[in-house]
Amino acid sequence: LTTLLTASARLPSTLAHWNYDRLIHNGKIVGDYYSYIRQTTNANSPITDITSLDMRCNAGGASGKKTQTYTIKAGDEIGFTVNNVFGHPGPQQVYISKAPAAVSDYDGSGSWTKIYSLTTKAITDQGLQWAGDGMTSFRFTIPSSVPAGEYLVRAEGLALHGAGEKGGAQWYMGCAQIKITGSGTGVLSPSVKIPGLYKADEPGILINIYYPTPTSYKVPGPALWPAGTQE
């Protein structure tokens, strides 16, 4: 049996866990901790039940009444700071969901579309090398074709260190409340519902990333929007 254990896999579990706690806009951190991101009630513990409503915006994230809404323009760069670090191997992805009215009143029960995916940077004879490994923040662009409105922007980290058995994958997520301005007329598609986004036994979720050494990785979830965006 191989001993291909990464440094992140050897971290004490609570140190390797994380939250998304502050918003970044055009390169600058805006607001205090959880000003614009719904605060969780489970400290930095993961969600492991993919059928749970907590898969939307984490435990405690169903309501945004205590969270402010931040205004940006379609085409702006935003991002999240991470408390403490991406401490487990796996992909980081971002989904958005348009609220029917005020996003602070929205529970995330509508449709979600994936706009960003940070996966492997290389696949070597030592296995999958993750682009987000060790990062303390990440940034991405809100597509310029996003229609104006109020949105939940959901950052999601999937930890695969225990994913060699069904139910072993861990999810970390946080939802920012964003008002997007502009003249975008894009149609957000494909769209998904959460829960229902993933299956526990699909290839990118049920995978032993250590042995036998993987030679490929299929990122879970729908295709990125807009069409043609590279993962």
d(CA 86, CA 75): 26
- In this prediction the pTM is 0.92
Q: Contact, 8 vs 129, CB < 8 A?
A: no
Q: Contact, 42 vs 17, CB < 8 A?
A: no
Q: Using one digit for the tens of pLDDT, what is the confidence trace for 183-223? A: 999 999 999 999 999 999 999 999 999 999 999 999 999 99
pLDDT band of 92, cuts 50, 70, 90: very high
Classify domain 20-192 at the CATH topology level.
Answer: Coagulation Factor XIII; Chain A, domain 1 (2.70.50)
Domain ranges of the chain: 20-192
- pLDDT above 70 coverage of the chain, percent: 92
Quick one: DSSP state of residue 159? E
> 């290389």: which residue's tokens?
122
* Chain centroid offset of residue 16 CA: 16
**pLDDT score at 31:** 94
Q: Using one digit for the tens of pLDDT, what is the confidence trace for 100-158? A: 999 999 999 999 999 999 999 999 999 999 999 989 999 999 999 999 999 999 999 99
